[in-house]
Structure 1
Amino acid sequence: MTFDFLAPAYVWIKALHLISVIAWMAGLFYLPRLYIYHMQVAPEDVRSQTFKVMERRLLKAIMNPAMIATWIFGLLLILTPGVVDWKAGWWHLKFASVLAMSWFHHDLAQARKAFERDERPRTERGWRIMNEVPTVLMIIIVLMVIAKPF
């Protein structure tokens, strides 16, 4: 099956993909930070309820749609003829990193449900470490796409 019809829309698909990635990354950077702040208040504290609302809205209204859009536009990009050299190694590492980013998103969503139940799925230090995961993955992804080192 050929996807030649995608070629004329390539720059638009790429632009929408980047917009989606930026929105998704903003959420991936901010939600763990909210969890760190959430860990600093007792479950019965009124601020805990505020964090629950902020976390739910961030995940449901921004992060989930942005992740879905990122995947849709990303898949359209790789289906566009001539965009990906399937033999190149950079592509495989980039794709593995995107899968890891999606797993991280899922992990954050599971943690949000735990916070909603007034459970604390990690320590504050654990969340501080987790807060670095999207940065490391983003660096790998950008280097693979721009530099294509192998």
Structure 2
Amino acid sequence: MLMLWLKAFHIIFMVCWFAGIFYLPRLFVNHAMVEDTAIRAQLLLMERKLYRFITPFMFLTIGFGIALASLNWAYYSGAIWFHIKVSLVALLVIYHFYCGRCIRLLESDPESRSHVFYRVFNELPVLILFAAVLLAVLKPGA
């Protein structure tokens, strides 16, 4: 029963984290496109608040994932699919912190990157999500 509760919370916090990680770069796209300083200031405020809001979800997702894995570490430590999934989560954590860097970059130099860069950047977590979910559900090689 404990495992089901841990899994439920892991999924809930992962969904919350991804909701923010999908929306934040969309704000970057808008920020890079607009020229009005008042609108840029409003977007920057939204970006900062969203980033601060979703960061705890990242830590909770990871924490509940570690708790889940610790319940059956003998299995997970030898499962190749699990190591790949953990690597994808590590990439997503890097992506998350890079979003924080993008906020600071947009604050200091809003025209340093084009909206096209942020549109492409926005697609990366989608690929990670697809791969991580497929690995967790299909468990290839298990």
Q: Tell me the equivalent position of 2:63.
A: 72
Cα–Cα, structure 1 residues 76 and 48, in superposed 2: closer, same or farther, change >3 Å?
same
**Matches of 1:36 and 1:103 in 2, distance apart?**
19
**Closer, same or farther: CA 73–121 of 1 in aligned 2, 3 Å:** farther
- Distance (Å, rounded) in 2 between the aligned partners of 1:67 and 1:126: 24
Residue 21 (1) aligns with residue 14 (2): yes
Distance (Å, rounded) in 1 between the aligned partners of 2:133 and 2:38:
40
Contact preservation (8 Å) 2:10, 2:61:
yes
Kept in 2, the 8 Å contact 1:111–1:121? The answer is no
2:109 corresponds to 1:98: no
What is the deviation of 1:80?
Answer: 0.9
Residues 92 and 128 of structure 2 are in contact (CA less than 8 Å); yes or no, is this contact kept in structure 1? yes
- Choose 86-95 or 104-113, whichever is displaced more: 86-95
Q: Distance in 2 between matches of 1:114 and 1:84?
A: 43
Answer 1 or 2: which has greater helix percent. Answer: 2
Gaps of 5+ in 1: 1-7
Q: Which residue of 101, 104, 115 maps to 1:124?
A: 115
Measure the CA separation in 2 of the matches of 1:64 and 1:26: 12
User: Once the two structures are superposed, what CA deviation does each residue of 1:48-92 show, in whole Å capped at 9, x if it has no partner?
Assistant: 01101110110002x101001111111111111268432221111
With over 3 angstroms needed to count, the CA separation of the structure-2 counterparts of 1:80 and 1:143, relative to structure 1, is same
Are 2:30 and 1:37 aligned?
yes
State the alpha-carbon separation in 2 of the partners of residues 98 and 120 from structure 1: 30
Q: Give the Cα–Cα distance (whole angstroms) in 2 for the partners of residues 107 and 133 of structure 1.
A: 12
Counterpart of 1:80 in structure 2: which amino acid? L
Distance 1:83 1:11, change over 3 A: farther
Separation (CA, whole Å) in 1 of partners of 2:20 and 2:38: 23
**Residue 44 of structure 2, aligned match among 44, 52, 59:** 52
- Aligned counterpart for 1:107 among listed residues 86, 95, 98: 98
> Which residue in the other structure is 1:5 paired with?
none
Change over 3 Å in CA distance of 1:82–1:132 after alignment to 2: same
Question: For each residue in 1:11-33, what CA deviation from the matched residue of structure 2 results, as whole angstroms up to 9, or x when unmatched?
Answer: 11111111100000001100010
